[in-house]
């Protein structure tokens, strides 16, 4: 290679560098600025929806993520266009790559599909207490891929959406009211009707017990040591546990104040006079 060829290649390289450097710098600026704009827009969307009086908290993380990734995609396309890349070709390549990645990540796509169905049908919302065969807790966030739950004892749970969609799910917070069921045992010698009235009057006077449906006390079963009375009272879901604890404690005291015995498990032994007496307890034999 002679000197003229080297000079020609150097001139071509210099011309190419002169033309491509401004585009490269501009593309980098677009990427950097676009990244911060996408993050700022996502935070702003989340903050705006959080302060909105009628916004659904379930949709906050989803909308924020959609805003962020939509801006990032536009930024990447704009940066490639600044470099002279044909955006139609890029979109075709991205589509093919997306198909290949989708086939390789079928489990992830299943979580996305489950997340979309959960957001569409709304079996639960942020703040609801739910339970499945494998997990239970209060829903803190629902994303496209997963949901975040917090158990009653403060444990963090990261749950893929497919596990919440493809199973039987119980939502304890969905309905406004819940039925409180408490069982009390009274002695066989006591009057059942009196016991039922005492519990019914006490529960009906409780401020957190609803008037409709009315309080009901039923003789549930005849146990080994007691007649089991079941107290049935309705309360709001928000006050369910406080109401249950109050009725349990207060119901026991109301029965005791009425002179009704709450027996403890015991065993009574009978033997025929003609039979041999039972042996003495261990350690009490005569020396």
Query: Is cis: bond before 147, omega within 30 of 0?
Result: no
Higher pLDDT, 141 or 171: 171
Q: How confident is the model at residue 119 (pLDDT cuts 50, 70, 90)?
A: confident
Above 60 in pLDDT, residue 25?
yes
Rounded Cα gap, residues 223 and 79, in angstroms? 78
Above 50 in pLDDT, residue 265?
yes
Above 50 in pLDDT, residue 38?
yes
Higher pLDDT, 141 or 105: 141
**49 and 59 Cβ atoms separated by less than 8 Å:** yes
Mean pLDDT of 124-147: 90
What is the reported pLDDT for 242? 95
What is the reported pLDDT for 75? 84
What is the reported pLDDT for 61? 77
Above 70 in pLDDT, residue 90?
no
Q: How confident is the model at residue 287 (pLDDT cuts 50, 70, 90)?
A: very low
Above 90 in pLDDT, residue 231?
yes
Higher pLDDT, 46 or 216: 216
pTM: 0.62
Rounded Cα gap, residues 235 and 175, in angstroms? 11
**72 and 121 Cβ atoms separated by less than 8 Å:** no
Mean pLDDT of 13-23: 66
What is the reported pLDDT for 12? 61
Q: Which residue has the tokens 């709001």?
A: 236
Taking the CB of residue 161, how many other CB atoms lie within 10 A of it? 23
What is the reported pLDDT for 169? 94
Above 90 in pLDDT, residue 190?
yes
What is the reported pLDDT for 174? 92
List, as one string, the DSSP characters of 195-235. HHHHHHHHHHTSTTB-SSSPPEEEEEEE-SSSEEEEEEEEE
Lowest mean pLDDT among 58-62, 72-76, 132-136: 58-62
Q: How confident is the model at residue 42 (pLDDT cuts 50, 70, 90)?
A: confident
What is the reported pLDDT for 281? 66
Q: Ramachandran region of residue 240, left (φ > 0), alpha (ψ -120 to 50) or beta? A: alpha
Closest CA to 178 of 239, 229, 122: 239
What is the pLDDT of the chain when averaged over all its residues? 82
What is the reported pLDDT for 108? 72
Mean pLDDT of 58-87: 78
Q: Which of 83-97, 164-178, 254-268 is the most confident on average?
A: 164-178
Higher pLDDT, 133 or 9: 133
Above 90 in pLDDT, residue 71?
no
> Domains along the chain?
14-104 (1.10.287.1260), 123-171 (2.30.30.60), 177-257 (3.30.70.100)
Q: Is 181 helix (H, G, I), strand (E, B) or coil?
A: strand
């Amino acid at each position: 290679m002679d000197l003229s060829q080297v000079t020609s290649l150097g001139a071509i390289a210099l011309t190419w560098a002169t033309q491509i450097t401004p585009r490269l710098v501009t593309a980098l600026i677009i990427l950097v600025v676009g990244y911060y704009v996408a993050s700022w827009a996502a935070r702003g969307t989340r903050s705006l929806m959080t302060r909105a009086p009628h916004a659904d908290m379930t949709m906050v993380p989803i909308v924020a993520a959609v805003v962020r990734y939509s801006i990032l995609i536009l930024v990447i396309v704009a940066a490639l266009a600044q470099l002279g890349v044909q955006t139609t070709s890029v979109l075709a390549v991205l589509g093919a790559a997306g198909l290949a990645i989708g086939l390789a990540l079928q489990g992830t796509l299943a979580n996305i599909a489950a997340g979309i169905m959960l957001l569409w049908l709304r079996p639960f919302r942020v703040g609801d207490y739910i339970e499945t065969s494998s997990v239970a807790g209060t829903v803190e966030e629902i994303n496209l891929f997963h949901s975040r739950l917090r158990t009653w004892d403060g444990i963090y749970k990261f749950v893929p959406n497919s596990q919440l969609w493809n199973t039987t799910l119980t939502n304890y917070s969905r309905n406004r009211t819940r039925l409180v069921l408490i069982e009390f045992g009274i002695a066989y010698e006591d009057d059942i009707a009196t016991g039922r009235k005492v519990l019914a009057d006490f529960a009906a006077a409780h401020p957190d017990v609803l008037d409709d449906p009315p309080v009901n006390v039923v003789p549930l079963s005849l146990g080994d040591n007691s007649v089991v009375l079941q107290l049935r009272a309705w309360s709001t879901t928000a006050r369910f546990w406080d109401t249950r604890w109050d009725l349990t404690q207060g119901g026991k005291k109301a029965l005791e104040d009425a002179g009704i015995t709450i027996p403890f498990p015991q065993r009574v032994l009978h033997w025929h006079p003609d039979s041999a007496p039972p042996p003495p307890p261990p350690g009490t034999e005569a020396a």
